[in-house]
Amino acid sequence: MVRMVPMFVVALPCGALALTAACSDPAPPASPAEPQPAAPASPAEPQPATPASPAEPQPATPASPAEPRPAPRPTPEGARRFLEAAESKLHELSTHSNRAAWVASTYITEDTQVLAAAAAAELLGAQTDLAKRADRYRDLELPYDVRRRLDLLRTSLTLYAPADPARTKELTTIASRLEASYGAGKYCPASGECLDLEALSRILAKSRDPEELKRAWVGWRTVSAPMRADFTRLVQLANEGARELGFEDTGDAWRAKYEMPKGELPREVDRLWGQVKPLYDALHCYVRGRLAARYGEDVVPGARPIRADLLGNMWAQDWSNVYDLVAPQGAAPIYDLGVALRAKGLTPVEMVRTGERFFVSLGFDPLPATFWQRSLFVKPADRDVVCHASAWNIDDEEDLRIKMCIDITADDFQTIHHELGHSFYQRAYRRLPLLYRDSPNPAFHEAIGDTIGLSVTSEYLQRIGLVAELPPPSSDLSLLLRDALAKVAFLPFAVLVDRWRWGVFSGEIQPPEYNRAWWELRTRYQGVAPPVPRSEADFDPGAKYHVAASVPYLRYFFAHVLQFQLHRALCEDAGYEGPLHRCTIYGSEKAGERLRRMMEMGRSRPWPEALEVVTGSRQMDAAAMLDYFAPLKAWLDERNRGGTCGW
């Protein structure tokens, strides 16, 4: 799940536009915000004619060129006009780039990739050039709004273009090629037909044969192994561009988006991870014991990491597909949302309509007609597409779309609500200045959709007619366990992906040790291990979309903490009293009004202020998540007593 941010996501070249870094002149170009009248070259100052002595003829002295005029001194008014011109140019280029990227993602061919890379490189060059030009206003005393937008211009990129036009083009071509390789990737066994990620993921979700699981897991990683050389070069080029803008490396630039003092972000991650780690450890211990009971200790040994292919997901980041293997013995049955969706005969479009109605019940306006005309809901039969779910705002105004290959499953029903969270957020801040049209930090955009997902409860499903009866209170532990397999199991993976990339960008992790370092982190944080030995001939990080597509990942960790914090506050607004895990804000316009106020702020204010609007607190805190899962944690501790935990 990812949101395509029109101006600032992986910006993937150079036309005749004066704003692009690839079109630089030998002399620094004049700022677009401070146009100066052309100054004619001053002729050489006339001197009285001195007749040359006939005995000593002198060579003619050419007229000296005019002295170059100094650049105008930066002023607050100049900064304001610079921003107006910059936002206008970025809006034009980002719309063009987004249209090309949409076609490239929904119609994967070599031609569409070339066109998307060209449009994105043009945008990236302009963004980088403008970020550098903004630096001339750094020492001015400026109004808050002007200063903030200038700072955001510098930190809004994901990949930073080197000044050299050829290297910018190389960077964007590599970035486009990596994403296309992922989207079109297939595993072709020696016998049988080729399998794409969706087919392989279904095997991971449904098979209970360890050998078949192993083959599917290894098969997908044959797609990522060839990415290593491209990824290594992308790191070099992106770091070059980031350093030209004053960052230590690309990881430093990514961390700057959170507007925390240097060094504080990793400490904040450690603090929040420390809050939730005991819950994760208890879940890991219980699940490993249940898997050992199913597969035997030869396959799942005690006190060791769990084989990553046994957990129902290609990356072992979501364990909900093995719920049937770990369900509490004698537990009350719980509803199967996938069965309910199919029984009602819902189509993919009807599933999206259902998600839209949730937001409308909170007081939001329905999505525009173009959303339904231009979105991709079903995988086409005639071409390759990037099926990874994403939300797009093509023109940063009303051209909202989502791209998914929807199956009639509970997972996709949840994902639809998540992606629509992006769409309604994008719409909420569309009237702000362009540089404010985003969330105050990357996690908020992810958290909104996830917060709505927490309200997809049995009570909500009954109210919209998808389940006939509410499950009894005795089923709460089963429901909480199923939720934890998705949300708690995800947390360490969400930490380690960018921990690995920070090390790669800083040079602490060198290319010859990419895979070793990846598995060290996966073992340390997740307690999982590969089903077969891995080597540096492999490139397992690239088997994850966000690595192949250069999408920062830490946002998802923070979002998983924030969603519970926001959910608890909104449930209070809705007047709900009872266990937090049973609350739905569906139909509460009061909760919707508070949520909308935060969303309409965009990133015009720092994230602690936005968080305070909904929660009353300026600090991220996992206490609400622990409260939500408290009954499950007590139950897990009881089940694990006397067993062997840890790895």
Contact assessment for residue 150 and residue 98, using Cβ atoms and an 8 Å cutoff: no
Is 60 exceeded by the pLDDT of residue 48? no
Is 90 exceeded by the pLDDT of residue 323? yes
How buried is residue 63: exposed, middle or buried, by Cβ count under 10 Å (0-12/13-18/19+)?
A: exposed
330 band by pLDDT with thresholds 50, 70 and 90: confident
Taking the C-alpha atoms of residue 424 and residue 598, their distance in angstroms, rounded to an integer, is 12
Which element (helix H / strand E) includes 219?
Answer: helix 210-224
Contact assessment for residue 606 and residue 440, using Cβ atoms and an 8 Å cutoff: yes
Taking the C-alpha atoms of residue 394 and residue 400, their distance in angstroms, rounded to an integer, is 6
Taking the C-alpha atoms of residue 613 and residue 598, their distance in angstroms, rounded to an integer, is 6
Is 70 exceeded by the pLDDT of residue 63? no
Which element (helix H / strand E) includes 497?
Answer: helix 491-506
DSSP reduced 3-state for 196: strand
CB half-sphere exposure, 398, CA atoms < 13 A: 7
Query: CA distances (Å), 96 to each of 122, 279, 368, 375, 603, in order?
Result: 10, 46, 20, 17, 23
Taking the C-alpha atoms of residue 121 and residue 119, their distance in angstroms, rounded to an integer, is 6
Highest-confidence segment of 21-25, 69-73, 419-423: 419-423
- Nearest C-alpha neighbor of 236 from the set 173, 129, 162: 162
Return the pLDDT at 21.
30
- Nearest C-alpha neighbor of 639 from the set 280, 276, 285: 285
Is 90 exceeded by the pLDDT of residue 472? no
Contact assessment for residue 584 and residue 568, using Cβ atoms and an 8 Å cutoff: no
329 band by pLDDT with thresholds 50, 70 and 90: confident
Is 70 exceeded by the pLDDT of residue 41? no
Please, where are the H alpha helices in 296-347?
323-326, 337-343
Encoded tokens for 480: 């909480």
Return the pLDDT at 68.
59
Return the pLDDT at 72.
80
DSSP reduced 3-state for 195: strand
Return the pLDDT at 8.
36
Q: What is the 3-state secondary structure (H, E, C) of 255-288?
A: HHCCCCCCCHHHHHHHHHHHHHHHHHHHHHHHHH
The better pLDDT of the pair 625, 42 is held by 625
192 band by pLDDT with thresholds 50, 70 and 90: confident
Instruction: Enumerate the domain spans of the chain.
Output: 7-26+76-181, 185-334+488-548
Q: Which residue has the tokens 């960077």?
A: 171
Is 90 exceeded by the pLDDT of residue 475? no
Taking the C-alpha atoms of residue 467 and residue 460, their distance in angstroms, rounded to an integer, is 9
The better pLDDT of the pair 377, 156 is held by 377
The answer on whether 586 is annotated among ligand-binding residues is no
- Tell me the average pLDDT across 590-608: 98
The better pLDDT of the pair 470, 122 is held by 122
Of how many residues is the chain composed? 647
The answer on whether 211 is annotated among ligand-binding residues is no
Question: Is the sign of the CA dihedral 636, 638, 643, 645 positive or negative?
Answer: positive
Domain 185-334+488-548: give its CATH code. Answer: 1.10.1370.10
Taking the C-alpha atoms of residue 212 and residue 165, their distance in angstroms, rounded to an integer, is 48
β-sheet bridge partners, residue 391: 3, 402
Other CB atoms within 10 A of residue 620 CB: 20
Return the pLDDT at 4.
53
pLDDT tens digits, 162-177: 989 999 999 999 999 9
The better pLDDT of the pair 426, 328 is held by 426
Return the pLDDT at 59.
43
N-term to C-term CA, the chain: 30
Is 60 exceeded by the pLDDT of residue 390? yes
Q: Which amino acid is at 190?
A: A
Q: Has 419 been annotated as catalytic?
A: yes
Taking the C-alpha atoms of residue 558 and residue 570, their distance in angstroms, rounded to an integer, is 18
Is 80 exceeded by the pLDDT of residue 217? yes
Q: Has 560 been annotated as catalytic?
A: no
Return the pLDDT at 331.
75
CB half-sphere exposure, 264, CA atoms < 13 A: 7
DSSP reduced 3-state for 363: coil
Return the pLDDT at 248.
97
Residue of 417, 546, 560, 567 marked catalytic: 546
Return the pLDDT at 548.
97
Contact assessment for residue 532 and residue 218, using Cβ atoms and an 8 Å cutoff: yes
The answer on whether 304 is annotated among ligand-binding residues is no
**Mean pLDDT rounded to a whole number for the chain:** 89
- Tell me the average pLDDT across 624-635: 98
How buried is residue 53: exposed, middle or buried, by Cβ count under 10 Å (0-12/13-18/19+)?
A: exposed
Is 70 exceeded by the pLDDT of residue 189? yes
Encoded tokens for 106: 């929904």
DSSP reduced 3-state for 227: helix
Q: Which amino acid is at 146?
A: V
β-sheet bridge partners, residue 392: 4, 401
The answer on whether 258 is annotated among ligand-binding residues is yes
- Tell me the average pLDDT across 77-101: 97
From the CA atom positions of the chain, what is the Rg in Å? 28
Is 90 exceeded by the pLDDT of residue 58? no
Return the pLDDT at 474.
80
Return the pLDDT at 43.
37
The answer on whether 446 is annotated among ligand-binding residues is yes
Q: What is the DSSP string of 600-617?
A: HTTTSS-HHHHHHHHHS-
Contact assessment for residue 32 and residue 85, using Cβ atoms and an 8 Å cutoff: yes
Return the pLDDT at 374.
98
Is 70 exceeded by the pLDDT of residue 28? no
pLDDT tens digits, 503-558: 999 999 999 999 999 999 999 999 999 999 999 999 999 999 999 999 999 999 99
Return the pLDDT at 67.
59
pTM to 2 decimal places = 0.85
Residue of 240, 259, 419, 567 marked catalytic: 419
Return the pLDDT at 66.
56
